[in-house]
Amino acid sequence: MKKLSILTFLFICVFVKEAGAQVGYIITQKGDTIKGELNIGTFGGGKFKPINKPDFVSVKIDTLKEYKLSDSTVYVLRVIPRSGSKPQILQEIEHGRINLYQYETPAGATSIIAWYASKGTDSLITLKTSNVFFGGISKKEGRATLSGLFADQPDIQKTFDASGKFDFYTIRLYIRKYNMATVNIKN
């Protein structure tokens, strides 16, 4: 039985390792962009194989600024509120003057999802979480925070406030509207 358990564990490790590598590119903290295959491990480590290189090499996640996969999914490393100083991997959902990020963390049989925003290069602001204990922000606080980000676009702020909605689709829609309205405005 012990032998079977060890073989099963080894099979899963090999299968997950092979299934996890995805083509894309990384951007290091130094600003270097390198194309290749990336395999991010469960515990914060990863392996990267640059194009035209035969082997994967270990890469520490905290040495990366962002990585993008061939399906256009972009991940960034940012410090999230109330998580200390260690950067976490977040999926970038919208990019513009206001950036929208999603952070997903396992929680037993399900996962907790949190959405964060930043205006330009500002620190992340919690907008909404799927678990009130994880992020500790109410719907009212989240709506007020997002409305405040729209303050320099009063028409968008007014329609957002009037909508009364605060689901992920609405958050993304109004951030996208804001970014489209400000695309030609200089900071």
Model pLDDT for residues 61-104, shown as the tens digit of each residue: 777 777 777 777 888 888 888 777 778 888 899 999 999 999 88
Mean pLDDT score, 38-61: 74
- Are residue 87 and residue 151 in the same domain, yes or no? yes
Q: What is the predicted pLDDT for the residue at 136?
A: 65
- Are residue 85 and residue 173 in the same domain, yes or no? yes
Least confident of 68-72, 142-146, 151-155, 173-177: 68-72
The answer as to whether 159 is a domain residue is: yes
The answer as to whether 7 is a domain residue is: no
The answer as to whether 10 is a domain residue is: no
Kindly list the strands in the beta sheet with 22-28, ordered across the sheet, starting from the edge strand earlier in the chain.
57-60, 45-50, 33-40, 22-28, 64-69, 74-78, 88-94, 98-107, 110-119, 125-129
Structure-model confidence comparison of residues 80 and 170, the more confident one: 170
Q: How many CA atoms lie within 13 A of 99 on its CB side?
A: 18
Q: Average pLDDT over the chain, rounded to whole?
A: 79
Q: Do 175 and 97 form a contact (C-beta atoms < 8 A)? A: no
Mean pLDDT score, 116-127: 89
Number of domains comprising the chain: 2
Alpha-carbon gap, residue 103 to 37, rounded angstroms: 22
Q: What is the predicted pLDDT for the residue at 15?
A: 37
The answer to whether residue 159 scores a pLDDT higher than 90 is yes
Q: What is the predicted pLDDT for the residue at 11?
A: 36
Distances (CA, A) of 105 to 9, 56, 158, 179: 23, 26, 33, 28
Q: Is 176 helix (H, G, I), strand (E, B) or coil?
A: helix
Which domain range does residue 124 map to?
73-187
- Are residue 118 and residue 166 in the same domain, yes or no? yes
The answer to whether residue 166 scores a pLDDT higher than 80 is yes
- Are residue 90 and residue 47 in the same domain, yes or no? no
Nearest one of 90, 110, 102 to 40, comparing CA atoms: 90
The answer to whether residue 2 scores a pLDDT higher than 50 is no
- Are residue 143 and residue 102 in the same domain, yes or no? yes
Per residue in 94-113, pLDDT tens?
999 999 999 887 667 777 88
- Are residue 48 and residue 137 in the same domain, yes or no? no
The answer as to whether 87 is a domain residue is: yes
Mean pLDDT score, 4-13: 36
Alpha-carbon gap, residue 38 to 50, rounded angstroms: 9
- Residue indicated by tokens 């602001």: 125
- Residue 121 pLDDT grade (very low, low, confident, very high; cuts 50, 70, 90): confident
Alpha-carbon gap, residue 20 to 46, rounded angstroms: 10
The answer as to whether 93 is a domain residue is: yes
- Are residue 120 and residue 152 in the same domain, yes or no? yes
